[in-house]
Chains A and B, each alone.
Chain A
């Protein structure tokens, strides 16, 4: 049944239906409405979870590590500074192959302090060994939670994952959304079956130290699991269609890409604006399309190459900046790598940092720049401030 709901509350409804046994989180704008709503669910007995009101994001994720290792499905959520405070634990959780799922309300990083959206936070955690899905709208945001637990807990995968969504833009807007009923979720997402756990009846040691004779193979296995995750996400996305009637069978979504000469590539809520801009440009006779990335890790390299085959120019909208990197945006670099040796021009445009508005005309202007061979630059700067 469709309901009009705030994005954060929709996330809370989804998380409730995932039945985590332990929830551990720390408030930070713009994630707060999620954890507040979860606290209400627990207080009202609507959710049978232990809700740990911890001292910091660092402890929040550390407690998730413990609870997951002890055999529970766990949940956390954060943003921006909170995620970076968790950084050490993030690497640790993936190293121990703990299937934790965490919602990331994407927000800029200080200094200067900003509570507004970009995707610097999760992209900075690119190499932490978590898979990263990016939601375009509240419906995808809800659905990715069910999908993420299913992928994370797959014994062939065992990776933690982020469900990323643009802070305020999705967290604080009301959209019509279908919140599936519990039975449907239960049928799709089985009860957590830990691959191994801390148990006095069968003692194991977890998180041991590894000498140079052993360390590299652990990282190799982690990378291999991430490679397998691509297929697992697709499978889980197809199964999603069977259970819920909405399909996510590919890590990318092509919008009006047939016969496109210029492709825009983006992740997250900006894709909605880009689709509108593409429609307008198409109406004006321009052959422009959008390639939306659902997943940044694993990066869908083959799908990107296939989808962009035959275009003349690619404009990647990067809501992040890697200072000192010639191309500037991290997503752009990946796309350029996917199209290596094809001769297709790929440009990155750093856009919408710290909540700066991105309008349809900005998207059209970026397409113009790509077609004229100019890119790897910031777009939308206020020249008078520089």
Chain B
């Protein structure tokens, strides 16, 4: 059972107001519990939570490099096993660290079958270095390396399907969650750490600064992503989709309009063609995961 009163991620860290990843860290530790060791990657969360000599982490925490958290975690797990210790080993890493530069180490760690839980807090770009695109950046989002311009509508490629990639490694439990649904998130963390073997959790973590919205709207944005079908909360057990959160879907417009990273799709004029492409991504998601609630006529 998740102990919701547990506070293992302390206040006083340096995140922006309304930072989704900061909320994710707090919720993850409630789900994982005190008997955990956290491995971090270089990125916003590492920087805002551990400016030496202060730390927000009340569990053992280590940061080595941007791209090697899963390999570091492999070593920790092997060491704990030899020592007969029982702490849970968690990676908590950004999407850049996960989707892009850390792929080699992640693939190796999952293939070797270490008993680790790898959690990606997905704020959909390299925020720490100033909002550059990553393999997790959604289609058409404007970032500093995929800027919208006269010849560009922003990021040219859709988001990489990391959950599928890790499920294909034979991960027993793969799930997505959102900071906008805290109970679901905490339960999934608990399930992941209790499932033996390498498990993967990808958490939608809206970034007020990088996405361009008021810090008070984090939960609202997170919910809209789910309600539009642009983010799906699901669970995969042994490679099969076991559960997905059903919604009465809204058109994608409301989600897009709420964020500056998609502003170019509405100004100076509404870009019907591009918005239709994004709607098609949501429709495909809805079909793939079966999330649509049929309304009674």
Spell out A's residues near B (CB within 8 Å): 21-22, 24, 48-50, 52-56, 58-60, 62-72, 74, 88-89, 92, 96, 198-200, 202-211, 214
Contact in complex: A200, B37 (CB < 8 Å): yes
Find the B residue at minimum CB distance from A198: B60
Find the B residue at minimum CB distance from A59: B71
Q: A62-B105, A63-B78, A66-B72 are in contact. Are A198 and B37 (CB under 8 A)?
A: yes
Q: In the complex, identify which listed stretch (B79-87, B252-260, B282-290) lies at the interface while the others stay far away.
A: B79-87
Find the B residue at minimum CB distance from A26: B108
- Would you list which residues of chain B between 14 and 63 have a CB under 8 Å from chain A? 34-37, 39-40, 46-47, 50-53, 55, 57-63
Q: A50-B82, A59-B68, A62-B68 are in contact. Are A69 and B74 (CB under 8 A)?
A: no
Contact in complex: B51, A22 (CB < 8 Å): no
Q: Which residues of B contact A65 (CB under 8 A)?
A: 64, 68, 72, 75
Contact in complex: B87, A200 (CB < 8 Å): yes
Q: What 8 A-B pairs come out closest when comparing CB atoms?
A: A66-B75, A55-B108, A63-B75, A62-B71, A67-B75, A66-B72, A70-B79, A62-B68
- Would you list which residues of chain B between 142 and 175 have a CB under 8 Å from chain A? none
Query: What CA separation (Å) do A200 and B65 show in the bound complex?
Result: 22
Find the A residue at minimum CB distance from B37: A198
> Is the C-beta of B112 less than 8 angstroms from some C-beta in chain A?
yes
Besides A52-B75, A66-B75, 9 other A-B contacts (C-beta < 8 A): A22-B79, A54-B74, A66-B78, A70-B79, A71-B83, A202-B60, A204-B61, A206-B60, A209-B51
Q: A52-B75, A198-B62, A207-B64 are in contact. Are A70 and B53 (CB under 8 A)?
A: no
Q: Which residues of B contact A199 (CB under 8 A)?
A: 60, 87
Min CB distance B234 to A, Å, is: 28
Contact in complex: A210, B108 (CB < 8 Å): no
Q: Which residues of A contact B71 (CB under 8 A)?
A: 54, 58-60, 62-63, 66
Q: A59-B71, A198-B76 are in contact. Are A54 and B108 (CB under 8 A)?
A: yes
Q: Which residues of B contact A50 (CB under 8 A)?
A: 78-79, 81-82
> Is the C-beta of B111 less than 8 angstroms from some C-beta in chain A?
yes
Selected contact of A203 from candidates B39, B58, B78, B81, CB within 8 Å: B58
Find the B residue at minimum CB distance from A50: B78
Between A and B, 28 residue pairs with Cβ closer than 8 Å are: A21-B78, A21-B83, A22-B75, A49-B82, A50-B78, A54-B108, A55-B111, A59-B104, A65-B75, A66-B62, A66-B75, A68-B75, A69-B62, A71-B83, A72-B79, A72-B82, A89-B64, A92-B65, A200-B36, A203-B59, A205-B55, A205-B57, A207-B64, A208-B55, A209-B46, A209-B47, A209-B50, A210-B51
Q: Which residues of A contact B64 (CB under 8 A)?
A: 62, 65-66, 89, 92, 96, 207
Contact in complex: A21, B82 (CB < 8 Å): yes
Selected contact of B79 from candidates A62, A67, A88, CB within 8 Å: A67
> Is the C-beta of B73 less than 8 angstroms from some C-beta in chain A?
yes
> Is the C-beta of B107 less than 8 angstroms from some C-beta in chain A?
yes
Min CB distance A39 to B, Å, is: 14
Contact in complex: B105, A59 (CB < 8 Å): yes
Q: Which residues of B contact A67 (CB under 8 A)?
A: 75-76, 78-79
Interface centre among A62, A64, A203 (most CB of B within 10 A): A62
Query: What CA separation (Å) do A22 and B60 show in the bound complex?
Result: 20
Contact in complex: A62, B63 (CB < 8 Å): no
Q: Which residues of B contact A209 (CB under 8 A)?
A: 46-47, 50-52, 63
Query: What CA separation (Å) do A74 and B87 show in the bound complex?
Result: 19
Min CB distance B2 to A, Å, is: 17
Interface centre among A64, A70, A214 (most CB of B within 10 A): A70
Find the A residue at minimum CB distance from B80: A70
Q: Which residues of A contact B63 (CB under 8 A)?
A: 206-209
Query: What CA separation (Å) do A55 and B111 show in the bound complex?
Result: 9
